[in-house]
Amino acid sequence: MEKVKIFDTTLRDGEQSPGCSMNTAEKAEVARYLERLGVDVIEAGFPASSPDDLKAVQHIAGTVKNAAVCALARCVKSDIDAAWEGVRTARTPRIHTFLATSPIHMKYKLKKEPDEVLAMIREGVAYAKTYCDDVEFSAEDATRSDRNFLAKAFSAAVKAGATVLNVADTVGYTTPAEMAGLIAYLKKHVEGIDEVELSVHCHNDLGMATANTLAAVAAGVRQVECTVNGIGERAGNAALEEVVMALVTRRDAYQLDCSVNTRQIYRTSHLVQNITGFIPPPNKAVVGSNAFAHEAGIHQHGMLASRDTYEIMTPESVGIPEMAIVLGKHSGRHAFEERLASLGYYLNPHELDAAFERFKILSDKKKVVQDRDLEALISSHISENAGRYTLVSFVVNSGNTISTTAIVKLSDGEQEIERVAIGEGPVDAAFQAVNKITGIDFILESYRLNSVTGGEDAIGEAVVRLRKDNHSVSGRGFSTDILEASIKSYINGVNRYILEQ
C-alpha cells in the first residue's frame, strides 16, 4: 500500500499558539514521544524567532534518530541560515521555507507585488538548497490564493529545488470539496509536480481541518501536517490522532498506510496535555476523556452483546492503559524502573533517583500508584524543575470567620524568598503571596482542578491560565494536596511566562 507521511508540527505551529510555549527540556521530551509514535517528520521549531528556539531545534536535531527533523524559515537568508544552524546535525535534516501567496497577504502583510514574491520564492528555496537536499516550500494562505498564481509559485519552487510543496490553509477557510479541487488543479498545472511530494497543512477555524486534510489525501496528497491534540494558532491545526485514526480505521476507504504506532497516541496526547496545560474537551475525538465512554444504557447493552455495535476502534488501539493497580509502598526501585520503561520513560540514573524519591513520597500518601499517577509524577518533575522558581513550603490559615492568610516560600536559584499575603480564600491568598515574591501581578483567567485517578487519595491536578497584559500562559501542578497542586500550577505558569518573555 502507498504511504501517507505524517509531518508533526506540535513543536512549531502548536508551540507557537499563545500559552503553549515549552522550554527546551519539554520540547525534547515531546520529540522523544513523537519519535516513538513513529511520525515521519518532526518540525522542531522556527530558529529565527528566538535563540531559545534555535537551541531547542539543535537539541532535537542531535537526538532524534528515526524521523526527519525540520526547521521553519521565511524566504529570507537570515531565517534560512538560522534554520540550517538548527537542523544541520540531524540524521535527516529538512529546511521548511514559506511565503504567502494570497492577494491579501501579499498586499497588506508582505507589501510586495506578485512578481517580487515569485523572486523571493526562487531565491529562498535555491538558497536553502545550498545547505540541504530536502527543502519544503509552503504557500501560506494557499487556499485564498489565485490558483493560477499559486501554480506559478509552486512551479518556481520546484525549479529552484524544492522537494516538498505544502498547501497551507492558514486561516482554516477552505472546504473538503474545494481542497480536493485545488489539489487536482495543482497536480495538473504545477510544472514538475510529479517529481516532488505534495503536502497539506490545515487549520481548524471552521472545524474542518481533519476533513480538509483527508480530502487532500483522497485527492493524492502524501504528506499531512498536523499537531498532537490539534493544538495550534486560534482553533488549532488538524489533529494528528484524528487524521491517523481515520486512515487506520477507514483503511478500506483510503487504502493507504502510515507509519504511526497508534498505541502510542494516548501517551503522547497526555504528555502534550501535561506540558502545555491544554486539555482537550471530553468529547474530543480519539483523545477526549469521553471518547471511549459508553454510558447510555442502550449502548452498554449493545457493547456487552458485541463491542462492534458502538465501538469503531478499541481503546487499546490508541494505547489507553487498563486501570490496573501497578505499584505500592513496598515496590522496589527495580519494579518502579520497569514500570516506567513499559510506559516509555527511560530515565538516566540521576533522573531515576529523583523520580524514585518522589514515588516513595507519593506511595506513602497513596495506597496504590497507577500508571496515570506515574505519568503525572514524571510530568510534574519535568515542569517543576524547568523554571526559575520552585516551591519550598507553604502554610495557609483559613476559615469562615477569619481572613485567609498564606505564607509561601519559593527558591529562586540559590536564594529562598518568603512572603505573606491575605486573599479571598486559600488559593487566592497563596497566589497573592507568589505574586509578591515574583513581583509580577497576573490576572487569573481560569483555574481548574481534576483528579488524575479515582479515589479519595487521588493525585490532584491543577491547571491555571494566567494573563499579564496581552500575554497569557497556562500552568500545571500535581499533588495529592490540592492546595499544593494549585500553588505548583501557578508557579509553573509564572515560570513559563518568564521563559516566554
53 binds, among Zn ion, ligand KIV, none (CB under 5 to 8 A by kind): none
Give the nearest distance from C-beta 13 to Zn ion in angstroms: 4
Any contact of residue 138 with ligand KIV (CB under 6 A)? yes
Rounded Cα–Cα distance for residues 412 and 468 (Å) = 21
CA 76 to CA 281: how far, in whole Å?
39
Cβ at position 203, least distance to Zn ion in Å? 6
Cell of 216: 487532500
* Contact call for residue 11 and ligand KIV (CB under 6 A): no
CB 143, min distance to Zn ion, A: 12
- To which residue does cell 515574591 refer? 437
Q: How far is the CB of 155 from ligand KIV (least distance, A)?
A: 19
Residue whose Cβ sits closest to Zn ion: 13
Q: Evaluate the CA torsion angle 8, 260, 347, 489 in order and state its sign.
A: positive
Does residue 101 touch ligand KIV according to CB under 6 A?
no
List binders of Zn ion among 335-364 (CB under 5 A).
Answer: none
- Within its chain, how far is the Cα of 285 from the centroid? 16
- What is the β-pairing status of strands 5-8 and 41-45? parallel
- Starting at the edge strand that comes first in sequence, how are the strands of the sheet with 415-423 ordered? 389-397, 404-412, 415-423
Strands (E), 376-468: 389-397, 404-412, 415-423, 443-451, 460-468
- Establish if 79 lies at the interface with ligand KIV (CB under 6 A): no
Closest CB 266 distance from Zn ion, rounded Å? 25
Instruction: Build a one-symbol-per-residue string for 8-37: x at contacts with Zn ion by CB under 5 A, - elsewhere.
Output: -----x------------------------
Question: Does residue 13 belong to the site contacting ligand KIV (CB under 6 A)?
Answer: yes
CB of 271 to Zn ion, least distance (A): 21
Please check whether residue 56 is in contact with residue 44, taking contact to mean a CB–CB distance below 8 angstroms: yes
CA 108/CA 61 separation, integer angstroms: 35
The span from the CA of 343 to the CA of 203, in Å, is 31
Contact with ligand KIV (CB under 6 A): which of 170, 229, 363, 435? 170
- Position 154 contacts ligand KIV (CB under 6 A): no
- Total residues contacting ligand KIV (rule CB under 6 A)? 10
Relative to beta strand 415-423, strand 404-412 is: antiparallel
Q: Which of 27, 32, 94, 201 binds ligand KIV (CB under 6 A)?
A: 201
Distance CA 123, CA 102 (A): 19
State the residues that interact with ligand KIV by CB under 6 A: 13, 72, 98, 138, 140, 166, 168, 170, 201, 203
State the residues that interact with Zn ion by CB under 5 A: 13
